[in-house]
Amino acid sequence: MLAKRIIPCLDIRNGKTVKGINFLDIQEVGDPVELGAKYASDGADELVYLDITATHEKRKLFSDLVTRIAANLNIPFSVGGGINELKDADILLSAGADKVSINSSAVRNPNLIDNISGSFGNQFVIVAIDAKLEKDGWRVYINGGRIPVEKELFSWAKEAENRGAGEILFTSMNHDGTKNGFAVEALRKLSEILSIPVIASGGAGKEEHFVDVFNNGKADAALAASIFHYNEIPIPRLKKYLIENNINVR
C-alpha cells in the first residue's frame, strides 16, 4: 500500500502566507519560503502553495516566488492560483514547481485540464475543488469560495479525472478552519468513484482526525494549514501518532 502523505498548505496573499476560517477572517502567518523550508525539514511529504486572490483579482502568480521556493525545498510542491492557460502552467513548471493546481479556471474552461495533462502528463495536474454541503448536496464554488456554480462535487471530480487530472484536492468549505475533522463521508465517496489519488482538505484539528480521514475517509493524502502554521500539531509528532495507529507514512 502506498504511504499516506501529509501536506501542509500555504495560502499566499501579496507574497505572504495567510490563514482564515471558512474562507474568511484572513491573517498573515509568515514568509512562504521560510515556512516551506521548515515544513520540509520537519518531514512534510509535499507542500501546496495557493495564491488565494490571484483568480479573484485577475492577476498571475509571480514566478519569482516559485523560483525562490524551489531553491529552498527538497520535497515536491504544487502551485495554484491564476493559472488560466497552458502557458501559465509552463511558466510555473519552468520556475521549479512539481505540479500545478487548477480550480476556478478548470470550472470555467474544463478543456484546460485536457490541455495541461496532454502537454505535461496527468501527474502534473491537480484539480482542486472547493465545495459546500447545501440542502441539495455538495455544490462547487469558485473564486476562493466566493461564487457558487451549477456543478456538483462528485460528478465534477469524475469529469476532471476523465479529462486528465492526476489528483483531486477536495476542500470542504463547511469544515475549513473549524478543526472539527474532515468531511469523511464525502471523501470516502470520492475515493470510491475515482481511480486517482484524493487529497483531503478542511477541518484538521487533532491527530485523530488524520487517522479518521485515512481509515474511514480513504484519502490518499491529508492537507492542513493552521495546525502546522501555529505549531499545534508538529509534523514529527503527527507522523509518530499515525505510525502508532498503523497508518503507513513515509
Instruction: Give the pLDDT confidence score for residue 14 in this predicted structure.
Output: 76
The single residue of 11, 51, 212, 220 carrying the catalytic annotation is 11
Alpha helices, DSSP H, located in the chain: 32-42, 63-71, 86-95, 104-108, 111-120, 153-163, 184-193, 207-215, 226-229, 235-244
Catalytic site residue 136?
no
Rounded average pLDDT per 10-residue block, the chain, 250 residues: 93 79 64 94 96 62 83 96 91 94 97 98 97 97 92 98 98 93 98 98 97 98 92 97 97
Q: Where are the domains of the chain?
A: 5-244
CB 148 within 8 A of CB 140: yes
CB 234 within 8 A of CB 42: yes
- Is 99 strand, coil or helix? strand
Residue-averaged pLDDT of the chain: 92
Instruction: Give the pLDDT confidence score for residue 124 in this predicted structure.
Output: 97
Residues 6+ apart with CB under 8 A from 60: 54, 82, 88
Only one residue has cell 480521514, namely: 213
Convert the pLDDT of each residue in 32-78 to its tens digit: 999 999 999 999 999 999 887 765 555 555 688 899 999 999 999 99
Instruction: Give the pLDDT confidence score for residue 120 in this predicted structure.
Output: 97
Rounded CA separation 164/195 (Å)? 12
Q: Name the class of domain 5-244.
A: alpha beta
Convert the pLDDT of each residue in 91-115 to its tens digit: 999 999 999 999 999 999 999 999 9
The single residue of 45, 51, 88, 130 carrying the catalytic annotation is 130
Instruction: Give the pLDDT confidence score for residue 212 in this predicted structure.
Output: 98
Catalytic site residue 11?
yes
Rounded CA separation 219/28 (Å)? 29
Cα–Cα distances in angstroms (integers) from residue 188 to residues 176, 200, 212, in the given order: 18, 10, 11
